[in-house]
């Protein structure tokens, strides 16, 4: 069977980054003969991967890892537009990236690729870290708790992108398995 490419975009979200990494390693192993996961890391994503001790692990465990230079380099948006990927997965996705997408601002490699992918009818799957209004507790890299209040404005942006064509928004890393099952056989 021909190996198909999937683009995985990582933004600067620390919330769920460790679990997302573990999930993607597991998926890569399960579908090893069917998929080639290409990793695209935003500038903020690179910083967060280093904070959480995942920078080297990502580079060691995924054959193709690219780091943002600007909104068009690497040229992820062009390859997405040309349907070189089965789909584009953004996980985890910061509230900043979600807000930019809700406002149609494509000034980063990730936001540019999502917007161009939507225009080209490429399936886009996004896991925002801010999903429900209210108070949440997250872990920072040293293991301490950080209490955050997710506002109606944050969640309004999530709702807006969830209503965009060719876009699937989901809350938890377990849903990533469902995304891959939709496109590939075990």
Tokens 């290409």 appear where? 38
* Angle at CA of residue 149, ends 147 and 150, nearest 5°: 130
Q: How many domains does the chain have?
A: 1
Please state whether beta strands 145-150 and 134-139 pair in parallel, antiparallel, or not at all (unpaired): antiparallel
0.75 surpassed by pTM: yes
What tokens were used for 112? Answer: 């540019």
The pLDDT assigned to 1 comes to 53
Contact 8, 24 (CB under 8 A): yes
Domain that holds residue 139: 4-183
CATH number, domain containing residue 59: 3.40.50.1950
A 10 A CB-CB count for 31 gives 20
Where the chain has pLDDT below 50, the residues are none
The pLDDT assigned to 120 comes to 97
The pLDDT assigned to 94 comes to 95
Please state whether beta strands 4-10 and 88-93 pair in parallel, antiparallel, or not at all (unpaired): parallel
């Amino acid at each position: 069977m021909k190996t198909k490419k999937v683009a995985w975009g990582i933004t600067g979200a620390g919330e769920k980054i460790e679990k997302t990494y573990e999930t993607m390693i597991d998926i890569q192993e399960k579908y090893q003969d069917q998929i080639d996961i290409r990793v695209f890391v935003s500038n903020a994503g690179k910083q967060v991967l280093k904070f959480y001790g995942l920078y080297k692990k990502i580079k060691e465990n995924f054959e193709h890892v690219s780091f943002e230079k600007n909104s068009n380099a690497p040229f992820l948006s062009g390859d997405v537009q040309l349907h070189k990927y089965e789909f584009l997965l953004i996980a985890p996705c910061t509230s900043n990236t979600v807000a930019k997408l809700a406002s149609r601002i494509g000034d980063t490699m990730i936001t540019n690729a999502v917007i161009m992918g939507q225009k080209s009818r490429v399936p886009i799957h996004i896991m925002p870290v801010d999903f429900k209004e209210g108070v949440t507790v997250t872990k920072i890299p040293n293991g301490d708790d950080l209490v955050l209040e997710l506002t109606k404005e944050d969640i309004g942006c999530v709702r807006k992108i969830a209503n965009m064509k060719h876009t699937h928004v989901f809350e938890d890393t377990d849903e990533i398995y469902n995304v891959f099952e939709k496109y590939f056989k075990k």
